[in-house]
Amino acid sequence: MGYKIFNKSSESMTDIDNESIDLIFFSPPYNIKTFYGNFNDNLKFEKYLDFMKNVILECARKLKKDGRLIIEIADSIFINQKYIQLAGVIQKLAVSNADLFLETRHINFIQTKDLFELPDHGFDKNYSTSIKAHSNCHQILVFNKTKTKPKNGEILYINHKPSSEHPCPEPQEMIDFIFKNYFKTGMKVLDPFMGTANLGIQIVRNGGTFLGYELVERFYNIAKKKLESA
Ligand SMILES: C[S@@+](CC[C@H](N)C(=O)[O-])C[C@H]1O[C@@H](n2cnc3c(N)ncnc32)[C@H](O)[C@@H]1O
């Protein structure tokens, strides 16, 4: 029980043994020019896909044979005047490149003051299409290493709460959902994009072991402080 966190890129997680992790959960950067500090969230799309592929492959190596990888990702992004079905692209990377199987797909709607819940990019109050960089509809993709019968997913409604610590912290409702459905005491849980470790705190408080990677030192330091007091 406890935690181990690293201020480095999760593209190579050599600090962790292969096939040792029960549950991996992450919400990655969406490559939509979010300002994270010393990390460039505006890569050429091919480069971004290579980056995502590397992390997903590394996650598949670290996952136990009966473990799960859960990715929370915007349904679509609108960047450089183009719509991209990001969740579909990421699902394909995991299935085709990392030999993972899609077990379930949940849908979560991030509710904000001015966006309705729509499957693709939201509409603003005047019913004109919003060109906000990512859709308010997200998918929670659940992968495993063995082919099982696909299960029906759920629909979640999550309130967006801005934070002064991080531009996109994991909402508590999302963490509670992962806990209720996928966590058991004693599990080893990895978040390769941990941000300020909102997930990690709950893992540690509930008898699990948390492993986290974060590239930006400021977020890593906040995570460290919060985990120490948890
Ligand atoms: C969408 S946020 C995740 C937020 C996190 N779930 C939380 O609750 O705060 C993505 C995070 O990944 C970090 N990041 C970006 N590239 C990374 C990399 N190569 N390795 C590790 N972390 C990275 C960013 O700095 C950012 O904090």
Name the residue with the closest Cα to ligand 1, atom 20: 9
User: Left if phi > 0, otherwise alpha if psi is -120 to 50, otherwise beta: which for 4?
Assistant: beta
Residue 213 CA: nearest ligand 1 atom is 21
3-state secondary structure (DSSP) of residue 8 = coil
119 vs 10, more confident: 10
Question: In terms of pLDDT, which residue wins out, 167 or 113?
Answer: 167
**pLDDT tens figures, 214-230:** 999 999 999 999 999 98
pLDDT of residue 152: 95
What b/e sequence results for 111-126 when a residue is b if at least 16 CB atoms lie within 10 Å of its CB, and e otherwise? eeeebeeeeebbeeee
Residue 101 has pLDDT above 80, yes or no: yes
pLDDT at 131 over 80: no
For 13-70, the pLDDT digits (tens) are 999 999 999 999 999 999 998 888 888 899 999 999 999 999 999 999 999 999 999 9
Please report the pLDDT score of residue 125 as a whole number: 63
Ligand 1: does its nearest atom lie under 6 Å from the Cβ of 195?
yes
Asked if 33 and 104 touch (Cβ cutoff 8 Å), the reply is no
DSSP class of residue 94 equals I
Task: Pick the more confident residue, 127 or 22.
Answer: 22
180, amino acid identity = K
Helix axes 198-205, 217-229, angle to 10 degrees: 20
| Ligand 1 touching residue 198 (CB < 6 A) | yes
Which helix (H) or strand (E) element contains residue 166? none
Question: For a pocket test of ligand 1, which of 56, 193, 213 has the largest count of ligand atoms closer than 8 A to its C-beta?
Answer: 193
Q: Identify the burial level of 153 via C-beta atoms within 10 angstroms of its C-beta, where 0-12 means exposed, 13-18 middle and 19 or more buried.
A: middle
Q: How far is the CA of 170 from the centre of ligand 1 (A)?
A: 10
The boundaries of the domain holding residue 18 are: 2-229
Q: Does any ligand 1 atom lie closer than 6 A to the CB of residue 169?
A: yes
Residue 32 identity (one-letter amino acid): I
Determine if ligand 1 sits within 6 Å of the CB of residue 27.
Answer: yes
Q: What is the pLDDT of residue 122?
A: 64
pTM of the model: 0.94
Query: How many angstroms does the Cα of residue 59 sit away from the middle of ligand 1?
Result: 15
| Rounded distance from Cα 29 to ligand 1 centre (Å) | 6
How many whole angstroms separate alpha carbon 174 and alpha carbon 107? 11
Q: Encode pLDDT of 144-202 as tens digits.
A: 999 988 899 999 998 878 788 998 899 999 999 999 999 999 999 999 999 999 999 99
pLDDT at site 132: 75
**CATH number for 40:** 3.40.50.150
- Give the pLDDT mean for 71-79: 91
Number of domains in the chain: 1
121 pLDDT higher than 70:
no
